[in-house]
Chains A and B, each alone.
Chain A
Amino acid sequence: MGRPSDIIIVGAGPAGMAAAATALAGGLRVAQVDSGTAVGGQFWRHPPQHARSAIPTDDLHHGLREYRALSRELSMARKAGRLDLRLAHHVWSAVREGDGFAVHAVDRRDAPRESAVTLHAPRLLVATGAYDRQLPFQGWDLPGVLTIGGLQALLKGGGVTAGSRVALGGTGPFLLPVAAGLAARGVEVVTVCEAGNPLAWLRHPLPVLRNPGKWAEGAGYAFGLARHRIRVRPRTAITGAEGGDRVTAVRIAAVASDGSPRPGTERRIEVDAVGVGWGFTPQLDLLIPLGCDLTNSADGNAVVAVDGGQRTSVPGLYAAGEACGVGGAALAVGEGHLAAQSALTDSGSAAVLGNRRLVAVRATVARQRAFARAMALAHPIPAAWSSWLTDETVVCRCEEVTAGAVRTACTEGGAHDHRQVKQLTRAGMGWCQGRMCGPAVHCLTSQNQVYTPAERLVATPVTLGALADLDEQQ
């Protein structure tokens, strides 16, 4: 693999896989980096290769045909030496270097040993996805309380169920596949609390009607949930979790349209695990330090701004998938193809997607984006969610900063945003660097503004030893 690459793709989820396939088809030499041990990302997460026959997961997936086709193309290119696939490599920084980019990663294939790796290419495509957006509530830091994305990852990645009696809560359609998947593995899903109002979708009928694929997906979950007698409770929220060593019960309550609990509706349900998700936060850690322009997304997140060909404001830098706005795997695949097509055109190579295909991909992307927007508007973070919190509720788990301390930083410390709250309280200064609590602290300080994550010059923890070795390599 001595020859330099024409493009580095960070991320091998749906967007990154599609981008790699198109770039390879156009004759580019591709270096692709992913922290996982297999391609697929979160959406197409699978058990390790050796365990796949023992742990069947096909029924948990969507779009497997696409996944298999893309996997085949990547694996053929890898054999032919045109794809330099770096799995179990964690990128901690991407910087501009001359006319191109340097991507700094740590190779963790022999974890806990790690070694520094630097890749160079004239173009960079970032497809780093998104992660669960969390809102704190009393008891959310108890063992057994997970994100719904975490529950899904355990299920898809190892057939593991986090509990036998599970309550799910939050907002958005992602609650449904997780509930259906858990039920299919014998878990008793005791409640699914959807804070939003399902009728909110009626305000945006067109994007729904134009995406029949989503109806089929929705109908599939509805069937699965009905078969297992799982009830989705609209306008209900998990407002607290109880337990000692781990969670033993949740408190749920009916909520008004602003998310405030309706007095007298609170109930207690015994559970041994909880999954919560309030949509997703795009992973922008590599893009923000590179100086990309950001734009506002309907779900309250800042996302990277791209043109119709997925070009960011930084020349030679492309983005695809959830980093450009959370919208699901089908959208991500479309954006991946478009981004690679742009990289091909911009580097003077022949485009791969013919006109008719290009028009079709663009139409899919436009349709899926409209659907994602409708979804975001139908499932907002409830305005009054913070009324579930007491002053003692921990908001930043790493540094154990309470909601009361955050409120004091705003009222007495004069803090206007999550960065100032961090300086005054240490919220977001711990191991997760605010990836988990950042959106919540933001909501507590300036809920009606879009959340722009703090700039993180180090995108993933890396040992000083690996960094020191990097110095000796230079």
Chain B
Amino acid sequence: MTLKVVVVGAGVVGAACAFHAASAGMDVAVVDRGPVGAGTTSRGEGNILLSDKEPGPELDLARLSRTLWEEIGQELGPASFELEPKGGLVVAGTAEGLAALHAFAARQAAAGVHIEPVTRLREVEPLITPGLRGGVLYSQDAQVQPVLATAALLRAAVRRGARLHTGEVVGAVTGGAGRVTGVRMGAGEVLPADAVVNAAGTWGGEVGRRLGAPVEVLPRRGFVLVTEPLPVVVRHKVYSADYVANVASSDAGLETSCVVEGTRGGTILIGASRERVGFDTTMNTAVVARLAVQACRLFPFLREVHLIRAYRGFRPYCPDHLPVVGPDPRVTGVVHACGHEGAGIGLAPATGALVTAHLLGRPWRGADPAAHTGLLPDRFFTSGGAPQ
């Protein structure tokens, strides 16, 4: 019998779940209250990064995802979503900073990441500020245009029989033994389902609650700056080694450590701040100014370049800064796939494959549930299923 799967969320993670589940022959419906890729997916930079990840469960997922992005590119055409294996360059300004970076990179290399120490930074990135001590080149770091990628994945899923519904999920319908049998929609109709995938991103906490399977997913606001279009002057994703510390940080206040990179369109993206301010959409000019300072320090020529746009989004994070991917221990049939924070674009394909593997009960496209137990929702609960 064909497994009926409802994927909640038409962002990049939901699209990847739908793509893999439909490829595995499941009967897939994607539901979202809004347009495709209109949430956090459209508010990031399109990062596919290995460079910023410590060895551990997230890096394992990221490495698989990097391979799967490549496969998706081959299957759907890399140009259709601007897949660009441009590489990342992490730089350090002090001897201590460089030593710490090298130590970090060595641990990553042991976990399978390709690294290449760089001493002459300007040979790799000609306009970078002189006076930096050195850096590490991560050739696997890449970029996509997230909304195009989401649209391409969903189109491919639809070709494999998936359907797209606009509407809001209000609750789960459960049958005997608390097993999900469907999803109740705002308009009153029920979509039959053997499994529900919570891929609602920043709203994953709320969707989990509605499904009777709450997980703690919180918003972290980030601003991204966009410059006027220029010829190719920044070749890699370039950032300072402080970035890694900020991504992993749990401080409540503002953190900025900018990533500077060029895009296919010629604009330069400067991201990204991280603030815990709930869903506050207010413009924060101090954050924008801070990002500008840091970008100009890395690339002094940027002082003369115009900012033409700024946007902000809300990254979904779990308290331990790891995504939650896998079946919920409390409601049979609910599978979580959210909480990817700033890494959702990069991690989407592997998340989709892993969710599909969980649903199939066997490995799928290199995703083996047994190899990614660190992402399971169980980590948040005691053995009785109560939140820890």
Question: A-side interface residues toward B, CB under 8 Å?
Answer: 93, 95-96, 102, 104, 116, 289, 398-399, 412-417, 419-420, 423-424, 426, 429-431, 433, 456-458, 461-465, 467-468, 470-472, 474
Would A457 and B310 be within 8 Å (CB), given that A424-B148, A465-B304, A474-B286 are in contact? yes
- The 8 lowest CB-CB distance pairs between A and B, nearest first, are A465-B303, A467-B292, A471-B289, A461-B306, A423-B147, A470-B289, A457-B310, A468-B293
List of A residues within 8 angstroms of B282 by Cβ: 95-96, 289
CB distance from A190 to the nearest CB of B (A): 37
30 contacts between A and B (CB under 8 A): A95-B282, A95-B284, A116-B289, A414-B35, A414-B36, A423-B147, A429-B265, A433-B309, A456-B309, A457-B310, A457-B311, A458-B307, A458-B308, A458-B310, A462-B306, A463-B304, A464-B227, A464-B295, A464-B306, A464-B307, A465-B303, A467-B289, A468-B293, A468-B296, A468-B303, A470-B285, A470-B292, A471-B289, A471-B290, A471-B293
- With A426-B265, A462-B306, A464-B307 already in contact, the answer to whether A420 and B293 are too (CB < 8 A) is no
Q: Which residues of B contact A289 (CB under 8 A)?
A: 282-283
B265 engages A464 (CB within 8 Å): no
Please name the residue on chain B nearest to A409 by beta carbon. Answer: B151
The winner among A429, A433, A464, A468 for most chain B CB atoms within 10 A is A464
Known: A289-B283, A413-B151, A467-B288. A457 touches B35 (CB 8 A): no
Q: Report the minimal beta-carbon distance from B157 to chain A, rounded to whole angstroms.
A: 13
Instruction: Give chain B residues whose Cβ lies under 8 Å from the Cβ of A420.
Output: 35-36, 38
Q: CB of B99 within 8 A of chain A?
A: no
Contact between A463 and B307, CB atoms less than 8 A apart: yes
In the complex, A461 Cα to B308 Cα: how many Å? 5
Complex interface bits, B86-125 against A, C-beta within 8 A gives 1, otherwise 0: 0000000000000000000000000000000000000000
A-B interface contact total, Cβ < 8 Å? 108
CA distance A398 to B285 in the complex (A): 26
Given contacts A461-B306, A464-B296, A467-B292, contact A104 B285 (CB under 8 A): yes
A461 and B307 in contact, given A95-B285, A96-B282, A423-B42 (Cβ under 8 angstroms): yes
Find chain B residues with CB under 8 A from A423 CB. Answer: 37-38, 42, 147-148
Identify the closest chain B residue to A458 (Cβ).
B310
**A residues in contact with B36, CB < 8 Å:** 414, 420
A458 — which chain B residues lie within 8 A by C-beta? 288, 307-310
Q: Once the chains are docked, how many angstroms separate the CA of A426 from the CA of B227?
A: 14
Interface contact B35-A415, CB-CB below 8 Å:
yes
For B13-45 the 0/1 string (1 means CB < 8 A from A) is 000000000000000000000011110001000
Bound Cα distance A424, B146 (Å): 10
Which residues of chain B are near A116, meaning CB under 8 Å?
A: 289
Of chain A, the residue at the smallest CB distance from B145 is: A423
B228 contacts the other chain (Cβ, under 8 Å)?
yes
Interface residue count on the B side (C-beta < 8 Å): 41
* Nearest chain A CB to B41 CB, angstrom units: 9
CB of A424 within 8 A of CB of B303, answer no
Which residues 220-277 of B have a CB within 8 angstroms of A? 225-229, 265, 267, 270
Q: Please, which residue of chain A has its CB at the minimum distance from the CB of B270?
A: A464
Contacting pair B151 A467 (CB below 8 A)? no
Q: Which residues of A contact B285 (CB under 8 A)?
A: 93, 95, 102, 104, 470
Contact assessment for B292 and A468 in the assembled complex, using a CB-CB cutoff below 8 Å: yes
A417 to B155, CA, bound (A): 19
- What is the minimal beta-carbon distance from A419 to any residue of chain B, in angstroms? 8
Min CB gap B364→A, angstroms:
27
- Give the CA-CA distance A413 to B158 in the complex, in Å: 12
Taking the complex as formed, is B302 at the interface, i.e. its CB lies under 8 A from any CB of chain A? yes
- Residues of B near A463 (CB, < 8 A) are 303-307
- Choose one: A93, A398, A433; the contact of B283 (CB below 8 Å): A93
Determine the chain B residues whose CB is within 8 A of the CB of A417 once the complex forms: 35
Most chain A beta-carbon neighbours within 10 Å: one of B164, B270, B290 = B290
Measured between alpha carbons, how far is A458 from B267 in the docked complex, in Å? 15
Is B358 an interface residue, CB under 8 A from the partner? no
- Distance (whole angstroms) from the CB of B103 to the closest CB of chain A: 31
With A104-B285, A431-B228, A467-B292 as known contacts, state yes or no: A416 contacts B305, CB within 8 Å.
Answer: no
When distances are taken between beta carbons in the complex, the residues of chain B under 8 Å from A468 are 289, 292-293, 296, 303
User: In the complex, given contacts A457-B288, A467-B292, what are 20 additional A-B residue pairs having Cβ atoms less than 8 angstroms apart?
Assistant: A93-B285, A95-B284, A419-B38, A424-B151, A429-B226, A429-B267, A430-B229, A430-B308, A457-B283, A457-B311, A458-B309, A461-B228, A461-B306, A461-B307, A463-B306, A464-B306, A467-B289, A467-B293, A468-B292, A471-B293
A93 to B270, CA, bound (A): 18
In the complex, which residues of chain A have a beta carbon less than 8 angstroms from the beta carbon of B310?
A: 457-458
Q: Could you say which residues of chain B place their CB within 8 Å of the CB of A461?
A: 228, 306-308
B312 CB-CB contact with A under 8 Å: yes
Query: Closest Cβ of chain B: how far from A72's Cβ, in Å?
Result: 35
What's the Cα separation between A429 and B309 when bound, in Å?
Answer: 9
Alpha-carbon distance A417/B303, docked complex (angstroms) = 35
Give which listed residue, B228, B304, B307, B308, contacts A467 with CB less than 8 A: B307
Residues of chain B contacted by A398 (CB below 8 angstroms)? 229
> Within 8 Å CB of B267, what residues of A?
429
Asked if A457 and B229 sit within 8 Å, CB to CB, the answer is no
Say yes or no: A465 contacts B308, CB within 8 Å.
Answer: no
B296 CB to closest chain A CB, in angstroms?
A: 5
Q: Which residue of A lies closest to B146 (CB)?
A: A423
User: Quick one: which of B135-192 are within 8 Å of A by CB?
Assistant: 147-148, 151, 155, 164
